[in-house]
Structure 1
Amino acid sequence: MVERIIVGPLSSNAYIYSEWKKECLLIDPGGDMEEILSHMAIKNLKPLGIICTHGHLDHVAGAYELQRHFRERDLEVPVAIHGADAHYLGKNAAESHRISFEQIGIDLKSVLMDYELLFPEPDIILEDGKTVLTSSLTVLHTPGHTPGSICLYSEAQGILFSGDTLFFEGVGRTDLMEGDGESILKSIREKLLILPQETMVFPGHGPNTSIEREIKNNPFLQ
């Protein structure tokens, strides 16, 4: 099961993903915690973990409140992120987010009014080629949007969570702190376009797509 919930002021895609009857993974919970919890309650799901495809605010901002919510109910839910983006979590994370927004001329204070100010410490450091907890999802390290950007690929399910690396006829922006235009195109070509063309792609923003569609139509990849 893949359920998309559009969250936060930047309209990010959060996902509830399940391969199990009563358990799930929360991918990129960037805000609107109550909305995410409502969708989980309808399906009577409990989370095994919170997985962040990268560290930007609109993909991690709900993690602290979700983790606290379940901790108050005696359920420990680990938060996972790639090591190269771990500085976007933890006690010093606010400074990383402030610098990131300043570089594109946005006052973080105006954005933070819509976000939770606290960020959890990372419990799991994701590594390229490793599976995520007990799922069939494999970590694909795809730097470019950020140094620690990842995608999550399930060969068995034929799906890819592409974060802010690959979008419907687009790619992630690279004008933010630590972005690299050459790296993101290299990551997409070497890690994503080699996947089976029928692979369904669930991106961090915008509608779903497929590897086949992006090979044929994505203007950034021609």
Structure 2
Amino acid sequence: MTARVEHLVTSGTFSLDGGTWDVDNNVWIVGDDSEVIVIDAAHDADAIAAQIGDRKTIAIVCTHGHDDHIDAAPALRDKTGAPIWIHPDDDVLWRMRHPDTVPDDDLAHGQQIKVAGTTLTILHTPGHAPGAICLYSKDLGCVFTGDTLFNGGPGATGRSYSDYPMIVSSIRSRLFTLPPETVVHTGHGPDTTVADELDNVPDEKAE
């Protein structure tokens, strides 16, 4: 069975630095009729589990530790038995949302995740958060960027644990080196492509 990308939008809130905002999050499921991985278990474990159905969940992969991307992860782990994977540099953000539970394993740059006959490669892309990662699939011609790169440019860096020069460096060195036709599946909002974002990320600029 050929791997495919499935998309679910869930709604909730994002809280950091004393503020709370309503947000819609993209949840991405990659796999086939037998097994999947979940990218960003946001807000609604029941809805995500319903999308998965009776398929085996290999892993719940967190693109970063902001609460809107991880809030449903422990509940989804309870429902599926799947391990939660996150980059260790986002441990401080994880603990803000889930002080009483821990992820199951660390993600690392260059790590490969295999599901349904396809391989996704972890790209460490700090800037929006210290442990932000993207997942690139050459076979599927796409990259899952979380909040690192959106349709329109880089993710936000105006809050704690973020850094604008770093996110620009990450995008230019780790994402803009991918084939220009690569589809960018983002953490919020519509898709884009690497080619369409080349002019939206300046070489150097203070936010």
- The answer to whether the superposition gives a TM-score over 0.5 is yes
Question: Could you tell me which residue of structure 2 aligns to residue 221 of structure 1?
Answer: 202
Question: d(CA) in 2 for partners of 1:45 and 1:156?
Answer: 21
Find the partner of 1:198 among 176, 181, 192. 181
Question: Could you tell me which residue of structure 2 aligns to residue 158 of structure 1?
Answer: 141
Question: Could you tell me which residue of structure 2 aligns to residue 124 of structure 1?
Answer: 105
Question: d(CA) in 2 for partners of 1:118 and 1:30?
Answer: 17
1:17 aligns with 2:20: no
Question: Could you tell me which residue of structure 1 aligns to residue 129 of structure 2?
Answer: 146
Question: Could you tell me which residue of structure 2 aligns to residue 211 of structure 1?
Answer: 194
TM-score, scaled relative to structure 1: 0.79
Find the partner of 1:85 among 72, 90, 93. 90
1:26 aligns with 2:9: no
| Percent identity (aligned) | 38
Q: CA deviation at 1:146?
A: 0.6
| 8 Å CA contact 1:185, 1:221 repeated in 2 | yes
Deviation per residue, 1:129-156 (Å, 9 max, x gap): 1112555010100000011000000112
| 8 Å CA contact 1:61, 1:119 repeated in 2 | no
Mapping for residues 81-120 of structure 1, pairs under 5 Å: 81-89=86-94, 93=95, 96-97=96-97, 120=101
Which amino acid is the alignment partner of residue 62 of structure 1?
Answer: A
Deviation per residue, 1:85-138 (Å, 9 max, x gap): 12333xxx1xx35xxxxxxxxxxxxxxxxxxx6764111100001112555010
SS in 2 for 1:86: helix
The number of equivalent residue pairs is 188
Greater Cα shift, 185-194 or 207-216: 207-216
Question: Could you tell me which residue of structure 1 aligns to residue 68 of structure 2?
Answer: 58
RMSD: 1.7
Which amino acid is the alignment partner of residue 8 of structure 2?
Answer: I
